[in-house]
Structure 1
Amino acid sequence: MTERSVNPLFSTALWLPAALASIFLLIIAQFSFLFFHTLAEFFSIIVSFVMFAFAWSTRRFIRNNFLLFLACGYFWVGALDLLHTLTYRGMQLLNEHHTHDDIAIQFWIGTRYLEALILLYSPFAARQKVRGKPIFFLFACISLIITVLVFNDLFPRTFIDGEGLTDFKIYSEYLIDLILLAALISLFRCGEGIRYREKQLIAASIVMTMLAELAFTFYVSVYGLSNIVGHLFKLASYWLIFNAIVISNIKKPYSELLASERRFRRLFENNEVALWNVDLSGVHGELENLRKRGVTNLRQHLYENREIAPALADTIHITDINTASLELFSAETDLDPRAQSEQLMRTLPMSMFVEQLCAIWERQPNIRHEVVFRNVDNEELAAIVSFQIPETILEYANVPVSVVDITQRKQDEQKIWRQANFDQLTGLANRNYFTDSLSHTIDLAERQGDKFALLYIDLDRFKQVNDTLGHSMGDKLLNDAAKRLKENSRKSDIIARLAGDEFAILLSGTGRPEVIEPLVTKLLNSLAAPYDLSGNETTISASIGIALFPEDGCEVADLLRKADSAMYKAKEDGRNNFHFFTEEIEKEALRKRQLEQDLNRAIENQEFELYYQPIETLDAEVISAEALIRWNHPLRGLVSPIEFIPFMEETSLIAPLGEWILKQACQDAMHWDHHCSVPPKVSVNISTRQFQNQNMPALVKQILTDTGLSADRLTLEITESLMIDDEDSTIHQLNSLRLMGVALSVDDFGTGYSSLSYLKKFPVSYLKIDRSFIQGLPNCQEDSALVEAILSMAESLRLQVVAEGVETSSQANYLASLKCRYIQGYWLSKPIPQHDFCNYLNTKLNSHQSRT
């Protein structure tokens, strides 16, 4: 039910006291009008003073401008009414020195003017900031002026005995009624800041005052009936304003307090946070007793007298708990919920209780602790227990304590922490956690003078398994390998998956090779055992690099780098092996880092140059030229590709360099048109990594477009290993290149995975016999047999053959006898720069013309 739904004027309880008082006064009037008048006036005077006393004493708390303005005004209205009462005919107190009898009526008229003006302006005051003292003294001045005018006979006559009221008195009453009517209108139009109940009661009070003023216009004698009726209306008016101002504002804090308690109870019961009302008065009392006994350091005192804290804990009592507490602690047993909560409080760590006692002792503003305890179902709960430390002794008897369940949050935090620090596939620590642990181990080892070892592990042949059997089987292999690492390591060791098929183990507490080697051998044997991948038995191995602390470094990055370098050395030594880091490995690593820096600079500074070696027929016709890279190092001079090509293929540098070689070779080939009637083709070596990391058909097409070279003048030389790696992807790219018109040649044929099935699948046009088979011709029977077999096979597969490394005329003549159409080698020409190669073509052209 809202405030506006009930009109306070219709309340019987409002009118009954006024009605009884009116009946009593009417009875009194029958015997003594003076007594009637005095009682009626004193009632209004008392109401005025009580209203002022209430408003003035509560002005800083209630902050009701409307109430304060009315109270200041009505105080002086009451003061003037007191003078009116004391000067009334028959009182014989203040009127014995005056010559006329209407002094009381003059005070009445002056007071009613003041009251009407106060009621007229009060709605506007409700919307403004009212300063109590200035308003009070303003009304005091007005009242003083009225008093001076009356006592000095300067106020107009209002009543003549025997004749009745003067015109001034009558017209004043009418004017006062008009002011009151304006006040009534302004109350409803401008009184937005006035509460509904106050507005209704004050409006009724104004109406009663207007009726009283009308009644006072009719009497002839001061003891007449209209005078009695007027005072009764005035009595009702003041009773209404007393209810509007005093009683309403006295009831308001209590009603608001009651509503606040109800809201708090609803909030307390419906809150999802567990809330306890705890009685800590016993704790506070005991702490104060300790303070009086001279204890200054409570923490030290509790440490020396350990029985005190448990005894203090027994003085704590829970006076109330809400529904959320019952749910949080699974309180579904017959045990009283408060007793359950007290029991749970006593399961909290005593150290936390001591901290709370110290906080109370030190008068800190609040307490907040994260705790872990168990509910009645023995389930572990994580919670935040917090409360404000009371400021007064009485508040300790009822302290609200909140218990926020953070179990799910802690679980989520733990989950996030695991995701950030552990590998999702294997459950091992990840690189982030491992490096943090390694850093902590270094700090600890430096302080304690300990040693430890770092193992860097890489699985051999994992890529082939992953590509052949699929990623799901690759994941299973990694998971099985991780389990073997855990099963064959010590509990104190930290095992991590750093990336892909790379793992690391931190062997704490040992730095001696004789202890480490058996552990590493055990790991290698375990990883080399066959794996069952859903019916596919697979065997792999591992290469392990070992770095020691402090011999090999005292920084995380140094130890990881050196263990990684040792691991690559183990791979170079044949895999399924381990290797300790040595200074030689460091020197080799430094050499490679320097080489990488130099190569990056070389690409930026265009320090590379292409040399060309002709491929000719037995009739000395140049049909093609192989592009061979050379590096013009600013300090070392011309560097052989044997020194840097293998390294570049291990890194990402081969891609930009390979692209530059292909584009430059095509550009150079376009210049050969000026030196031959039939310009030769250009043959370019392509790395396996380029096919794996680049879209070669798209790259070749773009370069041919940019340079203008026709596709039939380009031959790409690939190795046999390309036919094994990533077969489906490779076949697709090679077929696309053949459809463009680009020829494909297998370089160094016979040294790799030679297989007729691969030659049948792949769209190659040429086979280049490796120089190792040519060098023994014609005297070596094994080389002769192999070359004859290759030529025979190529003929049957309709492939052209190029013999590489021809250095003597006897080798050339022997190959001619075997009908090998194309040869390449130093017997024809060594690799020469572009300018020299153009001269070489001119010489061949002139020689051919002279023979013709």
Structure 2
Amino acid sequence: MLFCDIDNFKRVNDSLGHDAGDELLVALARRLEGGLPDGCTAARLSGDEFVIICRDIGAVGGVDSLATRVAGLLRTAVPVHGQLIRVSASIGAAVPNGSGAGGEDLLRFADAAMFEAKRRGAGKVSLASPALMASADRQLHLEGQLRDALNNDGLTLYYQPVVASDGSIVTAEALVRWPHPDRGLLSPDAFLPVAEQGDLLRELDRWVLRTALKEAASWPESNGRQVGIAVNLAGLVPGGPDFVDTVADVVAEVGIDWRRVILELVETALVDLPSRTRHAMGELVQRGVRFAVDDFGTGYSSLARLKDLPAQIIKVDRRFVSGVGGDASDFAVARAVVDMARAMGRQCVAEGVETATQFHVLSGVGVNAYQGWLFSRPIPAREFRTILSMGPLHVPRSG
């Protein structure tokens, strides 16, 4: 079994639209149909993923030969909407190893091998080794534990303050953690890939949204004003059919003020949205919800598309913030984002602010708020409530 994932397919959708992406998938499917040897069956599994099953690997020259042939079929240039699009695929291969693994296991092993190939770069092929298959089994076990944690409130939220120039807390970002029974406190880097492969991202987003808004609803005021709550969404995206209803239901359930809710999405999730989705998001905005573009400047869209993003807050990515005190290019990017955001009536939040130099440089170019270890690390809910009652956080003096 071969598991094929088209490299950088999201860029085609983001830059040329979903119709172009569909046209590309059809062209690649036809290449597979016409180019595979006898005894092989190809199918589109979902999205930009194709699966190929070969009933007699020896008859086609072995798994390496077949994988090379398929990689060649999917490494091509396809004319789409008047442009020549060059594509390739990351391919994972798995063969029965005599352990009694069934078709579902084989698909899981090939999928894991595909992720291994993708880590090595575009257009690579990886064969599921015994070590990788064992890792895939551990992944399945971890996925089951994560599912149980979601169903039984086994996760927890930490909060990182977002502060104004005077140190007052204006918002807090909710960050999920998993107190794993055997491995200790796990950060999202350790389990988000598990959630993604197990199709749990939407369920995870719902849990975080409901829990964060419920906890924030009872926060004390800070410096005489209510503090906003920001939730980063990965699986519950605006294009989903139940996005607006899910948000509205949670807000109604916990009784929080709409104006305190901030939904953070990566910029690619906010580009090329259909009018129906933009209208639905507009309904939430009219009620008071704000949208934030997370990690701005790292996605495929350009600064010129900032004006098209239906968001009220732009978060400057930490990789630009880290160098603003000494790297002219990082400073130029940060200043350009802030200037454009101000001209369009958006607010700017700088992520990853860790030094006084970064804070003062960013303050000088007009950043509205700051998030980072200079002010506070992400902290448990009880500790966050404590610092809310203590007044503004310390702001370093210039010079």
- Rate the CA distance shift 1:537–1:637 in 2: closer, same or farther, 3 A: same
RMSD: 3.2
1:495 to 37, 41, 51: 41
Q: Deviations over 1:323-371 (max 9, x none)?
A: xxxxxxxxxxxxxxxxxxxxxxxxxxxxxxxxxxxxxxxxxxxxxxxxx
Where in structure 2 are the equivalents of 1:284-295 lying within 5 Å?
none
2:32 to 482, 495, 502: 482
For residue 802 of structure 1, what is the amino acid of its counterpart? V
More strand by share: 2
- Rate the CA distance shift 1:764–1:499 in 2: closer, same or farther, 3 A: closer
- What corresponds to 1:800 in structure 2? 347
Is 1:714 equivalent to 2:261 in the alignment? yes
Q: Deviations over 1:61-114 (max 9, x none)?
A: xxxxxxxxxxxxxxxxxxxxxxxxxxxxxxxxxxxxxxxxxxxxxxxxxxxxxx
1:508 to 56, 60, 69: 56
- What corresponds to 2:330 in structure 1? 783
- Rate the CA distance shift 1:562–1:686 in 2: closer, same or farther, 3 A: closer
TM-score scaled by structure 1? 0.42
- The Cα shift of 1:846 comes to 11
Q: Which runs of 5+ in 1 are unaligned?
A: 1-453, 848-852
2:119 to 569, 572, 582: 572
Contact (CA 8 Å) 2:324, 2:334: kept in 1 or not?
A: no
Distance 1:481 1:460 in 2: 16
Contact (CA 8 Å) 1:623, 1:681: kept in 2 or not?
A: yes
Q: In percent, how many aligned pairs have the same letter?
A: 31
Distance 1:795 1:509 in 2: 60
2:159 to 597, 600, 612: 612
TM-score scaled by structure 2? 0.85
- Rate the CA distance shift 1:593–1:468 in 2: closer, same or farther, 3 A: same
- The Cα shift of 1:844 comes to 0.8
Distance 1:807 1:626 in 2: 16
For residue 205 of structure 2, what is the amino acid of its counterpart? G
Number of equivalences: 390
Q: Deviations over 1:374-396 (max 9, x none)?
A: xxxxxxxxxxxxxxxxxxxxxxx
- What corresponds to 2:384 in structure 1? 837
- The Cα shift of 1:831 comes to 1.2
Distance 1:580 1:735 in 2: 47
1:669 to 208, 216, 225: 216
- The Cα shift of 1:688 comes to 4.9
- The Cα shift of 1:826 comes to 1.2
- What corresponds to 1:132 in structure 2? none
Is 1:766 equivalent to 2:316 in the alignment? no
- Rate the CA distance shift 1:577–1:736 in 2: closer, same or farther, 3 A: same
SS of residue matched to 1:776: coil
Distance 1:747 1:794 in 2: 14
- What corresponds to 1:629 in structure 2? 176
- The Cα shift of 1:479 comes to 4.8
Distance 2:168 2:274 in 1: 36
- The Cα shift of 1:781 comes to 2.4
Distance 2:294 2:74 in 1: 36
- What corresponds to 2:397 in structure 1? none
- The Cα shift of 1:472 comes to 7.4
Q: Deviations over 1:548-571 (max 9, x none)?
A: 455786754544443343233323
- The Cα shift of 1:503 comes to 3.1
Q: Deviations over 1:389-417 (max 9, x none)?
A: xxxxxxxxxxxxxxxxxxxxxxxxxxxxx
Q: Deviations over 1:625-683 (max 9, x none)?
A: 11111112222221111211243234431222211211222222222245652121111
- The Cα shift of 1:743 comes to 1.0
Where in structure 2 are the equivalents of 1:295-310 lying within 5 Å?
none
- Rate the CA distance shift 1:754–1:548 in 2: closer, same or farther, 3 A: closer
- The Cα shift of 1:616 comes to 1.2
For residue 495 of structure 1, what is the amino acid of its counterpart? T
- What corresponds to 1:601 in structure 2? 148
Contact (CA 8 Å) 1:654, 1:690: kept in 2 or not?
A: no
More helix by share: 1
1:809 to 356, 359, 364: 356
Where in structure 2 are the equivalents of 1:535-574 lying within 5 Å?
538-550=85-97, 555-574=102-121
Q: Deviations over 1:805-836 (max 9, x none)?
A: 11222222222222323111111111112221
Where in structure 2 are the equivalents of 1:374-773 lying within 5 Å?
454-460=1-7, 468-469=18-19, 473=23, 476-477=26-27, 479-486=29-36, 489=37, 491=38, 493-497=39-43, 499-500=45-46, 501-506=49-54, 508=56, 510=58, 516-531=63-78, 538-550=85-97, 555-673=102-220, 676-724=223-271, 726-728=273-275, 730-773=277-320
- The Cα shift of 1:532 comes to 5.2
For residue 200 of structure 2, what is the amino acid of its counterpart? L
- The Cα shift of 1:602 comes to 0.8
Answer with 803-812 or 553-562: which moved more.
Answer: 553-562
Distance 2:73 2:60 in 1: 22
Q: Which runs of 5+ in 2 are unaligned?
A: 395-399
Distance 2:172 2:107 in 1: 46
Contact (CA 8 Å) 1:688, 1:721: kept in 2 or not?
A: no
Q: Deviations over 1:284-333 (max 9, x none)?
A: xxxxxxxxxxxxxxxxxxxxxxxxxxxxxxxxxxxxxxxxxxxxxxxxxx
Q: Between Structure 1 and Structure 2, whose CA radius of gyration is higher?
A: 1
